[in-house]
């Protein structure tokens, strides 16, 4: 056990991390930026292991008061049809919609028509965890310093289909490799805010999706940098680890029950748009892997849930990333487990740095007083990248490093077994 909640911090990285240039012309690299962004990790000593940290998330908390306005987007993918919702952080308002999560209202058509801008404010695009949404406390803690009390960032959250009181309008739900909605939103943001540097962050399942997206885009990724927090990386390993212990099965049961409730809340749409056996899902699903067996395999055509896990995992995607990328993981995370972290892949890619803490649980990192430590390295890293680093110079580094790539072999890290076009 770490002494009185003081967690050990470690870094995994390539021998020669990505070279970066500061705006003043001085040289640095990705590892140095990350190390400067990560403060000591002093957690609540009463929550002295990953289970206690993770279970404490069930304690009712208010969290930072983030206000949103929602826009419903029509999907432009020929296979992944329907709609998805995006919640944009806005100034406090009094017209919250009771049908949406707290402090959230819809944009009017007139309001959204005026959203475009030519400014250079940094913009963060966030993805939440399994069955969550923009209202999640771990997410609000992470973005609050960027937008409250004079924060200079614009932030939006892409809600997974059916989550955060969004509607299900097609037979295709979300899964761990469903990168199409975030891709459409990033492309829309690039056109709508042509001068803004765009950054991405994902949490848990959203971290897996964000990692897959950045890997799929490779050197053409429109994002300037990205962060993955509590990424399960290798879904098959993580799933088998959950099934191996009593507490692991408890977590799997909680997540399976949450997903079953999500299906239940969209019963009419599920019966209308999908081929899912609604009654079987409600009567036979207890654990998360059972949900994936009844829903993901049927929706997407995978023969088994393990085939889905192998195909949707983001561990290989690490090798294809060509933008500055920070992964943040707790080694005692009981859900995104230590065994699933692709340490060797991260050490092969100069664009990626992994920061680990010996404690923290799953998206927890609770400090004394209720704060969440993960907000500090996240915001420090984003602010350093946005204000200190010459972002235009990163493009030149990409071109130079790609020509000297150690990955120029027959291995294709983003080759998938389930063939679904990116667009």
Contact 239, 291 (CB under 8 A): no
pLDDT at 422 over 90: no
Q: Among 29, 54, 38, which Cα is nearest to 356's? A: 38
**Dihedral-angle region of residue 352 (phi above 0 means left; psi in -120 to 50 means alpha; beta otherwise):** beta
Instruction: Tell me, yes or no, whether 372 lies in a domain.
Output: yes
Question: Which of 128, 135, 362, 374 does the annotation list as catalytic?
Answer: 362
How confident is residue 395, by pLDDT bands cut at 50, 70 and 90?
low
pLDDT at 405 over 60: no
How confident is residue 6, by pLDDT bands cut at 50, 70 and 90?
very high
Instruction: Tell me, yes or no, whether 129 lies in a domain.
Output: yes
Instruction: Tell me, yes or no, whether 105 lies in a domain.
Output: yes
Mean pLDDT, residues 179-187 taken together: 97
Catalytic residue at 134?
A: no
Catalytic residue at 154?
A: no
What was the pLDDT predicted at 404?
46
Residue 180: domain span: 65-234+313-329+365-388
What was the pLDDT predicted at 411?
85
What was the pLDDT predicted at 396?
38
What was the pLDDT predicted at 79?
82
DSSP, collapsed to helix, strand or coil, labels residue 88 as strand
Contact 294, 310 (CB under 8 A): no
What was the pLDDT predicted at 408?
53
- Which two structure tokens, joined as six digits, stand for 335? 């859900």
Mean pLDDT, residues 27-38 taken together: 98
Question: Which of 204, 252, 313, 364 does the annotation list as catalytic?
Answer: 204
Q: What is the pLDDT of residues 301-357, one digit of tens each?
A: 999 999 999 999 999 999 999 999 999 999 999 999 999 999 999 999 999 999 999
Among 19-23, 78-82, 109-113, 346-350, the least confident range:
78-82
- Which two structure tokens, joined as six digits, stand for 86? 């995006």
Q: How far apart are CA 383 and CA 399, in angstroms?
A: 24
- Which two structure tokens, joined as six digits, stand for 356? 């680990």
Report the alpha-carbon angle 100-105-111, nearest 5.
150
- Tell which wins on pLDDT, 237 or 370: 237
What was the pLDDT predicted at 369?
86
Question: Which of 13, 311, 333, 364 does the annotation list as catalytic?
Answer: 333
| CA 409 vs CA 13, 311, 405, 406, 417: distances in Å | 21, 21, 9, 8, 19
Q: How far apart are CA 199 and CA 105, in angstroms?
A: 24
What was the pLDDT predicted at 364?
97
Q: How far apart are CA 388 and CA 218, in angstroms?
A: 24
What was the pLDDT predicted at 12?
98
How confident is residue 397, by pLDDT bands cut at 50, 70 and 90?
very low
Contact 160, 125 (CB under 8 A): no
CATH number at 205 reads: 3.40.50
Instruction: Tell me, yes or no, whether 102 lies in a domain.
Output: yes
Instruction: Tell me, yes or no, whether 221 lies in a domain.
Output: yes
Is the four-CA dihedral 126, 127, 133, 138 of positive or negative sign? negative
Instruction: Tell me, yes or no, whether 4 lies in a domain.
Output: no
Catalytic residue at 362?
A: yes
Instruction: Tell me, yes or no, whether 220 lies in a domain.
Output: yes
- Which two structure tokens, joined as six digits, stand for 402? 């790609």
pLDDT at 274 over 70: yes
How confident is residue 258, by pLDDT bands cut at 50, 70 and 90?
very high
What was the pLDDT predicted at 398?
45
Q: How far apart are CA 221 and CA 7, in angstroms?
A: 34
Q: What is the pLDDT of residues 59-70, one digit of tens each?
A: 878 899 999 999
Mean pLDDT of the chain: 94
Instruction: Tell me, yes or no, whether 74 lies in a domain.
Output: yes
Q: What is the pLDDT of residues 117-175, one digit of tens each?
A: 999 999 999 999 999 999 999 999 999 999 998 889 999 999 999 999 999 999 888 99
Mean pLDDT, residues 253-279 taken together: 95
String of DSSP letters for 246-280? HHHHHHHHHHHHHHHHHHHHTHHHHHHH----HHH
What was the pLDDT predicted at 419?
79
The structural domain count of the chain equals: 1
């Amino acid at each position: 056990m770490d002494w009185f909640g003081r967690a050990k911090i470690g870094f995994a990285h390539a021998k020669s991390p990505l070279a970066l240039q500061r705006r003043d012309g001085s040289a640095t690299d990705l590892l140095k930026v990350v190390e400067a962004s990560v403060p000591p990790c002093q957690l609540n000593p009463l929550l002295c292991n990953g289970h206690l940290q993770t279970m404490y998330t069930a304690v009712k908390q208010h969290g930072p008061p983030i206000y949103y306005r929602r826009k419903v987007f029509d999907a432009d993918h020929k296979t992944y049809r329907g709609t998805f919702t995006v919640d944009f952080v806005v100034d406090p308002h009094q017209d919250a919609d009771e049908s949406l999560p707290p402090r959230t209202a819809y944009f009017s058509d007139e309001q959204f028509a005026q959203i475009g801008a030519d400014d250079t404010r940094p913009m963060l695009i966030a993805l939440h965890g399994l069955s969550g949404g923009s209202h999640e406390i771990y997410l609000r803690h992470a973005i609050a310093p960027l937008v409250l009390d004079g924060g200079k960032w614009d932030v939006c959250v892409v809600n997974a289909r059916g989550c955060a009181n969004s509607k299900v309008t097609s037979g295709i739900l979300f899964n761990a490799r469903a990168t199409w909605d975030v891709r459409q939103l990033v492309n829309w943001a690039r056109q709508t805010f042509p001068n803004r540097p765009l950054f991405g962050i994902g949490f848990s399942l959203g971290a897996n999706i964000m990692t897959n997206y950045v890997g799929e885009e490779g050197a053409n990724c429109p994002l300037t940098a990205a962060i993955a927090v509590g990424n399960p990386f290798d879904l098959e390993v993580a799933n088998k680890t959950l099934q191996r212990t009593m507490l692991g099965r408890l977590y799997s049961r909680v997540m399976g029950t949450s997903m079953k409730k999500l299906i239940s809340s969209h019963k009419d749409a599920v019966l209308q748009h999908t081929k899912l056996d609604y009654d079987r899902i409600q009567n036979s699903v207890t654990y998360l892997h059972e949900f994936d067996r009844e829903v993901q395999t049927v929706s997407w055509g995978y023969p088994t849930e393990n085939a889905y896990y192998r195909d949707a995992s983001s561990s290989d995607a690490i090798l294809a990333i060509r933008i500055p990328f920070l992964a943040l993981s707790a080694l005692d995370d009981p859900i995104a487990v230590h065994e699933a972290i692709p340490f060797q892949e991260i050490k092969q890619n100069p664009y990626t740095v992994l920061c680990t803490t010996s404690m923290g649980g799953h998206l927890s990192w609770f400090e004394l007083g209720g704060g969440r430590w993960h907000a500090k390295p996240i915001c420090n890293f984003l602010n350093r990248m946005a204000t200190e680093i010459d972002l235009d110079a990163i493009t030149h580094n990409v071109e130079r490093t790609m020509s000297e790539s150690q990955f120029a072999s027959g291995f294709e890290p983003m080759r998938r077994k389930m063939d679904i076009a990116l667009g």
